[in-house]
Amino acid sequence: MSVAVVDGPNTWTEGYGLAQWPGTDVTPDTPFYTGSTTKASTAAVLSLLVDDNENHPQVQWNTPVNQLLRDDFVLSHEWDANNITIEDILSHRTGMPRHEFAFGGDYDGHPATLQDIVRSLRYMQRSAPPRTTYQYSDLMFIVASSLIETLTGEWIGNVFRKKIWEPLGMDSTYLSLDDAQASGNDLAQGYTFNSGQFLYEPVPWKNKPEVSGAGGTISNIKDYAKWATALLKQTPGVLSPAGYSAIWTSRTLTPAHNPFLKPSAYALAWNTCVYQGVEVVWHDGGIDGFGTEIALVPSLGFAVVTQANTTYTSNYAGTAFVYHLVDKIFGVASDRRFDWNQWYEDLERQMKESVDIEKAYKTFYPTVPSPAPPPTLPIGEYTGHYWHPAYRRLTILWDEEKNVLYADRRDSTTTCQLTFIPVSREFFFVRLTVVGAEALLPAEFRLGPDGTPSMVGILWEPSLGDEKI
């Protein structure tokens, strides 16, 4: 783990543990993937375009995205497409849920581009009307990334570098794996815990350019300390005073939990909350094998950043460390401090319970008799290539030796493996495995007039209720 603390005029950085097993130590120069903390750079660049009335007078926070992306930004509801604004896509209030398994991979013979993904939105269903519900969406920050590239005519990584990173001296920050590896610094290796073998396994570095301004940054703790300092001091020459104010102005109410006082909210790529009576601005970032936390207390000129290289637990440890320091700064007595260790132990327990097959039966298939009717067809006859215009190709294969149906979507942005578990006739469970986690999703095959499978539906997006995709 690497750590940065900004306290007024003073900055402290340090590295702990291993960047790569067995012999590469973490130092303040070690680059890590920083995940969704990238979103802050996307919002910051858009604030500069909003400010630039000479070259981009049509770009304002309340400008409908469709006016700028025209044929690309089309949604399943015409009103949504015509009215959702830049402000909406940056504050997670578009009505569009995550749909995190819907993008990436092959698009007509080429790897996914930002435009490909934006154009696929028309085939995805919303789960709430716009501006009514907070729903975190990487997809909308891919839209924002495409918007930046369209308006500037440049790759967004170059825009980040010219507008933010170079002015702040962030010389070890990148938006591509190739650039990070070419820098000469030893990039941290990500790891995930294999509970069956009780060991940490390396996770391949994610080389997915389409993640872009939603979560593609690679950086070190020194550079993130510079970014945090600029935000706290509102450093001139980076963002305007209006820009600094805009990105931290709350837009969308978010679910609150202890130890934060209500209301919590999402601004433009930043969470805002009240902790111990003081405003805290923060964001986390998680990507396969890595986790970053950044929290700022503007009224005190104080910030803490952590970067680490394990799936999920990087964020657990980072959050606990961040608020340990914040509690010390605030003078919170030990017996009044929130128990983050217990919070995350409870979360881990809930995650394990969510893949308990007996509980899943009670939730999704409570009326299935015992014994249940077997699948209509032999298992091997459910194989095939299935297609959805947004979720793309799903190739289901049969492991004859194990008599199991499975699918592998390693080429998607969110890589996953699927194993099909028969329930009753054409109803199945899918055991969905991603890096560091599993889920059980209901699935259903449908047979055509000839008696062979013609469709398969999976509950990819739980916020859509019972609607399978």
- Are residues 367 and 287 part of one domain? no
Per-residue confidence (pLDDT) for residue 197, from 0 to 100: 81
Q: 300 falls in which pLDDT band (50, 70, 90)?
A: very high
Residue 287 per-residue DSSP state: E
Per-residue confidence (pLDDT) for residue 185, from 0 to 100: 87
pLDDT digits (tens, 9 = 90+) for 415-424: 999 999 999 9
Q: 390 falls in which pLDDT band (50, 70, 90)?
A: very high
182 is a domain residue: yes
Per-residue confidence (pLDDT) for residue 431, from 0 to 100: 97
Calculate mean pLDDT across residues 229-254: 97
Name the domain count of the chain. Answer: 2
120 is a domain residue: yes
- Are residues 333 and 260 part of one domain? yes
Calculate mean pLDDT across residues 63-81: 97
258 is a domain residue: yes
Angle at 308 between CA 288 and CA 221, to 5 degrees: 120
295 is a domain residue: yes
Q: 445 falls in which pLDDT band (50, 70, 90)?
A: very high
Per-residue confidence (pLDDT) for residue 322, from 0 to 100: 97
- Are residues 405 and 292 part of one domain? no
**Tokens 């260790």 map to which residue?**
341
- Are residues 405 and 303 part of one domain? no
Instruction: Verify cis geometry, omega within 30 degrees of 0, for the bond prior to 259.
Output: yes
- Are residues 248 and 139 part of one domain? yes
- Are residues 382 and 405 part of one domain? yes
The mean pLDDT value of the chain amounts to: 96
Q: Give the whole-number percent of the chain exceeding pLDDT 70.
A: 100
460 is a domain residue: yes
**Tokens 């433009």 map to which residue?**
268
217 is a domain residue: yes
- Are residues 152 and 42 part of one domain? yes
Per-residue confidence (pLDDT) for residue 88, from 0 to 100: 99
pLDDT digits (tens, 9 = 90+) for 95-112: 999 999 998 888 888 889
Q: Can you tell me whether residue 161 is helix, strand or coil?
A: helix
Q: What is the CATH number of the domain that holds 433?
A: 2.40.128
167 is a domain residue: yes
Q: 86 falls in which pLDDT band (50, 70, 90)?
A: very high
- The runs of H, that is alpha helices, within 123-198 are 138-152, 156-160, 177-182
Q: Which of 313, 332, 350 is the last residue of a domain?
A: 350
Residue 354 pLDDT greater than 90, yes or no? no
For residue 190, give its domain range.
2-350
CA 428, CA 311: separation in Å to the nearest integer?
29
- Are residues 214 and 133 part of one domain? yes
**Tokens 């978010």 map to which residue?**
254
Calculate mean pLDDT across residues 272-298: 96
Per-residue confidence (pLDDT) for residue 338, from 0 to 100: 93
Calculate mean pLDDT across residues 303-311: 98
Question: Which of 188-197, 275-284, 286-295, 439-448 shows the lowest per-residue confidence on average (mean pLDDT)?
Answer: 188-197
- Are residues 361 and 304 part of one domain? no
Per-residue confidence (pLDDT) for residue 293, from 0 to 100: 98
Per-residue confidence (pLDDT) for residue 259, from 0 to 100: 87
- Are residues 314 and 442 part of one domain? no
Q: Which residues contact 85 (CB under 8 A, 6 or more apart)?
A: 61, 62, 63, 64, 65
469 is a domain residue: no
Q: Which of 300, 319, 350 is the last residue of a domain?
A: 350
Q: What is the DSSP string of 375-425?
A: PSS-GGGG-EEEEETTTEEEEEEEETTTTEEEEEETTBSS-EEEEEEEEET
Calculate mean pLDDT across residues 286-292: 97
Calculate mean pLDDT across residues 279-285: 97
Q: Which of 299, 326, 350 is the last residue of a domain?
A: 350
- Are residues 363 and 316 part of one domain? no
Per-residue confidence (pLDDT) for residue 256, from 0 to 100: 80
Q: What is the CATH number of the domain that holds 198?
A: 3.40.710.10
Per-residue confidence (pLDDT) for residue 105, from 0 to 100: 82
pTM for the whole structure: 0.96
Burial-class residue 325 by CB neighbours within 10 Å (0-12, 13-18, 19+). Answer: middle
pLDDT digits (tens, 9 = 90+) for 322-344: 999 999 999 999 999 999 999 99
pLDDT digits (tens, 9 = 90+) for 126-154: 999 999 999 999 999 999 999 999 999 99
309 closest CA partner among 221, 394, 202: 202
Calculate mean pLDDT across residues 438-461: 97
Q: Locate 101 and state its tokens.
A: 């398994």
Residue count of the chain, please give it: 469
- Are residues 427 and 311 part of one domain? no
Q: Which residues contact 230 (CB under 8 A, 6 or more apart)?
A: 168, 238
